[in-house]
Amino acid sequence: MIISEDKPIAEILESIENHSSIFIVGCNTCAAKLHVGGEQEILSMKSVLENSGKKVVGWALPTAACSIRSWDHLAEKDRSINKADALLVMACGSGASVISKLGTIDVFPSNNTVSLGGSYKGEVLPDQCKMCGNCTLFYFGGICPYSQCPKKLLNGPCGGCSDDGACETDNDKECVWELIYKKLDEKNSLYLLERIFEPKVNK
């Protein structure tokens, strides 16, 4: 799941200030699940835009904004897209990028993409992977320190966590290395911590 969040409405309105006929495109996968690009959010955005003097000519909710075959395929959902002078895409940057390739119309993102995450038991889990290109997750009990330790330490912990195991940089979060240690201990795999890792290139 790509984690994205709403841009401030003032920023969205400023970005489309030279456009009057807007078509909204959501995403019925990640963005809908996160409540930043599903039907309710599209309808709410439509009202906001209309109250700000814009004409919303229509909207579409493709299964995944990042996977659309062609402009015609998107337009099949609502032909009024052809009357728009701008698309507002309520999806992650990947979705907005793919939709930007479909035609010549201006495409504006309404979301900011913040991380590659997931969901488990109904809970959204941000920062599960930073796409480093060389996955070493197994050695850390399935918890990626490169993604979840603020210092990206692969040979942690840093020594700054509090006595109750909270992260030095965010007391509301448990030190990722505490979690890794507990997980490897459960699996009788603490020997994996003997391996020393070179730093990954910063991403």
Question: Hey, CA dihedral for 29, 31, 2, 14, is it positive or negative?
Answer: positive
Q: Is 15 or 136 the residue whose CB approaches ligand SF4 more closely?
A: 136
Instruction: For Cα atoms 87, 88, 94, give the angle at the middle one, nearest 5 degrees.
Output: 100
Q: Which of 15, 112, 119, 136 binds ligand SF4 (CB under 6 A)?
A: 136
Question: Measured from the CB of residue 156, what is the shortest distance to ligand SF4 in angstroms?
Answer: 4
Sequence-ordered list of residues with C-beta below 8 angstroms from that of 147, at least 6 positions apart, any chain: 115, 116, 127, 128, 129, 130
Question: Hey, CA dihedral for 81, 85, 91, 95, is it positive or negative?
Answer: positive
Q: Is 108 or 139 the residue whose CB approaches ligand SF4 more closely?
A: 139
Rounded CA separation 110/106 (Å): 13
* Cβ pair 150, 115 in contact under 8 A: no
Question: Interface mask (CB under 6 A) for ligand SF4, residues 146-185, using x and -?
Answer: xx-xxx-x--xxx-xx-----xxx-----xxx--------
Q: Which of 19, 46, 130, 183 binds ligand SF4 (CB under 6 A)?
A: 130
* Cβ pair 109, 96 in contact under 8 A: yes
Q: Is 56 or 144 the residue whose CB approaches ligand SF4 more closely?
A: 144
Q: Is 94 or 136 the residue whose CB approaches ligand SF4 more closely?
A: 136
Question: Measured from the CB of residue 53, what is the shortest distance to ligand SF4 in angstroms?
Answer: 44
Sequence-ordered list of residues with C-beta below 8 angstroms from that of 176, at least 6 positions apart, any chain: 143, 145, 148, 149, 156, 167
Question: Measured from the CB of residue 68, what is the shortest distance to ligand SF4 in angstroms?
Answer: 26
Count of chain residues binding ligand SF4 (CB under 6 A) = 25
Q: Is 77 or 130 the residue whose CB approaches ligand SF4 more closely?
A: 130
**Under the rule (CB under 6 A), what is the footprint of ligand SF4?**
129-132, 135-137, 144, 146-147, 149-151, 153, 156-158, 160-161, 167-169, 175-177
